[in-house]
Amino acid sequence: MALSFAEALRKDINRLAFISEQEKKAPKRKPKRVGKTPAYGTLYALRNVRMAIREAALRHVQIIITYLKITTGETKKYVVCPYSYRYRRLRSGWRKLFFAYDMDDRHIKGFVIGNVKKVAITDRKFRPRWPVEIGIWLVWCSGIGLFSHSVTIL
């Protein structure tokens, strides 16, 4: 018999075990395959750029982004490992930047989210060098007790 979270609290069931059990029952989205298999892994496509970045960050897989560089006006493709979002003050005002490790240049780069035109998820995994802050899970304490809370940074 399925219990709600409030019922589980009333019956004093182990909260963390209850939440992990509910997460296992949640439906899993699988992105559709597109195109042919390139040399660097199978590509997946999601319509929403932020959702594709989040999906790749949760799976620890590399992504290929098509990015419009404002300074030169050219469109470039980067193979990157997603790490975090930050708000930065630029000349044009406050912007949400996407920070990722560029596999070609071997250093962290910042990308303005509005200039990312396409995102393709590859099958190539990466081992995080720093904590991945996109799509993280937080465990925090409230007046009721400890419980897990899903926080998605989009």
CATH number, position 41? 2.30.30
Q: How many Å apart are CA 119 and CA 99, to the nearest integer?
A: 14
Alpha-carbon distance 99 to 89, whole Å? 15
**Structural domain boundaries enclosing 145:** 5-28+137-150
| Amino acid occupying residue 34 | V
User: CA Rg, the chain, in Å?
Assistant: 19
Question: Which of 94, 101, 20, 118 lies closest to 57, judged by CA?
Answer: 101
| Residue 154, pLDDT above cutoff 60 | no
pLDDT at 3: 63
Same domain, 116 and 61: yes
Residues 56 and 85 in one domain: yes
Q: How far is the CA of 40 from the CAs of 51, 63, 71, 75, 148, in angstroms?
A: 21, 10, 28, 20, 36
Same domain, 44 and 114: yes
43-61 tens-digit pLDDT: 665 668 888 898 899 999 9
Q: What average pLDDT does the structure give for the chain?
A: 76
- Say how many domains are in the chain: 2
Contact 136, 150 (CB under 8 A): no
Q: What pLDDT does 21 receive?
A: 74
Q: Are residues 77 and 115 in the same domain?
A: yes
d(CA 42, CA 141): 41
The confidence score (pLDDT) of residue 145 equals 43
pLDDT tens string 112-135: 998 999 999 998 999 999 999 987
